[in-house]
A and B are shown apart, each in its own frame.
Chain A
Amino acid sequence: MIEVKNLCKSFDGLEVLKDISTVFEDGKTNLIIGQSGSGKTVLIKNLVGLFEPTSGQILYDGRDFVALSKEEKILMRREMGMIFQSAALFDSMTVLENVMFPLDMFAPMTLRERTKRAMYCLDRVNLVGAEEKYPGEISGGMQKRVAIARAIALNPKYLFCDEPNSGLDPKTSLVIDELLHSITQEFNMTTIINTHDMNSVTTIGENIIFIYEGHKEWQGVSADIMGSTNKRLTDFIFASELLKEMREVVNASSTARQAAPSGQ
């Protein structure tokens, strides 16, 4: 479980995160949603320690990450996996070498065991057969799947994903979402996904946090989100014309149903 308490972050006096407090639970797919520039990426970078919070606490199963020493933070990070928006695969390594990298660095295993584990992770993301390819030779969706395989290689307790669906077509996005959701449940990880993909919100969002201009505007589950009366949230969700039209159609049909005589 990750607990965030009164987290603030400023850059040169500009307050980007304002007093954010929330809880990300174990074994759940937690989503952080919000417009571009709302502070989602800054929040996730604070959580993994790429940015130092201006004030506040981040508790990983009770351990205050902000108060840890540099060495302790490095050790703590070995319990984390992260998938970046750009996949961030190592260009000079093959797909297999990328997945094996964390194992090579930290796992006390023989070469055979490391290879077996890496192949298992690649199998888990349906990428067996691509192990000898370089990141530049595979598609964006495949790169994201390699990044997922690399992130889960060491069986992390916490998985962070910064816009894993960006640049992917809707079908591939669904595949990535499903994969992240099933991996979260399978390994009982605390997964935090930073997204503005509404498909992800409705399909895998078990705990959703809506960030608006640096503060937590709304928190709930995907079932509640559509019926929310929070104007900023509904403006964000129904920003696209298609969703607006769909909403009008649904509202019109429900009004018609209510207006119809009950005896008919």
Chain B
Amino acid sequence: MINLLHKSLTSFGKFLILMGRTFKRPERLRMFAKEYIKEMAQLGVNSIGIVLLISFFIGAVICIQMKLNIQSPWMPRWVSGYTTREIMLLEFSSSIMCLILAGKVGSNIASEIGTMRVTQQIDALDIMGVNSANFLILPKITAMLTIMPILVVFSSAMGIIGAYGTAYLGHIIVPDDLTLGLQHSFQPWFVWMSIIKSLFFAFIISAVPSFFGYTVEGGSVNVGKASTDAVVCSSVLILFSDVFLTQLLS
């Protein structure tokens, strides 16, 4: 137990030192901008497809489940639409979608940086006098922080489109009832809450796997292990911070 605590605190200390090296002014802004745009495309734009696909079906499934299991003659007709909107906005589009992205983006970041470490590409950067942490990690974190709110908005919108799909294509719910529910007691703060939460998660998704990749030692087996550990660790951190953030922002 003490060993585990010691190991966790040591890793946290190393993480803070790495972040200290990462959050410095880039040596060449032109190079930073180039990397930032590249990461936006690689981590963010390339994730739009999977986000839209999952959000569409989850939105549709939530609507069906609400209609079939919650709706009763004793409840108003807008309940299914209302609950679908709240679940999509408050939990799915920010937290669950970030959990999914932790798998996709997190493993990508950890394995990319880990491979650069074991093939001495990071050593090569250090020898050139480049702050390798700043050059490799900062563009990833800033790109994720930029793209994540956009993904959250896209996800919420697609979830609602999915819900309409069940209304127009599946005829599960009357479209007017769905519209009524979606508009019922709408609080714009919930959109902001979702975006604020996603910003924290975006940091976790990019910074934690970067740390695991950057500190990998050994060969390809260790890169694979670091990639898995990064996904597990960032998922757990997202779940924990979700509890605190929900409490804090509600």
Instruction: Identify the A interface with B (CB < 8 A).
Output: 48-50, 74-78, 80-82, 84-86, 88-91, 101-102, 104-106, 160
Contacts and interface: CB of A to CB of B under 8 A. Distances in A.
A86 B126 contact: no
Contacts of B120: 84-86, 88
A106 to B, nearest CB: 7
B12 to A, nearest CB: 22
Given A84-B120, A90-B124, A160-B127, 6 more contacts: A48-B127, A80-B127, A80-B129, A88-B119, A88-B120, A88-B124
Given A84-B120, A90-B121, A104 B127 contact: no
B127 A77 contact: yes
A88 B126 contact: no
B129 A78 contact: yes
B248 interface: no
A75 B119 contact: no
A89 B125 CA distance: 10
A86 B129 contact: no
Interface of B: 27-28, 30-31, 115, 119-121, 123-124, 126-131
A105 B127 contact: no
25 contacts: A48-B127, A49-B126, A50-B126, A50-B127, A76-B129, A77-B129, A78-B128, A80-B127, A82-B127, A84-B124, A86-B119, A88-B119, A88-B123, A90-B121, A90-B124, A91-B119, A91-B121, A102-B128, A105-B27, A105-B28, A105-B128, A106-B27, A106-B128, A106-B129, A160-B127
Given A86-B119, A105-B31, A74 B124 contact: no
A75 B129 CA distance: 6
A84 B128 CA distance: 12
A160 to B, nearest CB: 8
Contacts of A49: 126-127
A160 B115 CA distance: 23
A102 B31 CA distance: 11
A76 B131 CA distance: 13
A105 B130 contact: yes
A260 B128 CA distance: 60
A49 B127 CA distance: 8
Contact of A104 (B31, B119, B121): B31
A30 B93 CA distance: 60
Contact of B128 (A50, A77, A85, A91): A77
Contact of B131 (A74, A89, A101): A74
- Closest 6 A/B residue pairs (Cβ): A77-B129, A88-B120, A78-B129, A88-B124, A82-B127, A84-B120
Contacts of B131: 74
A87 B105 CA distance: 28
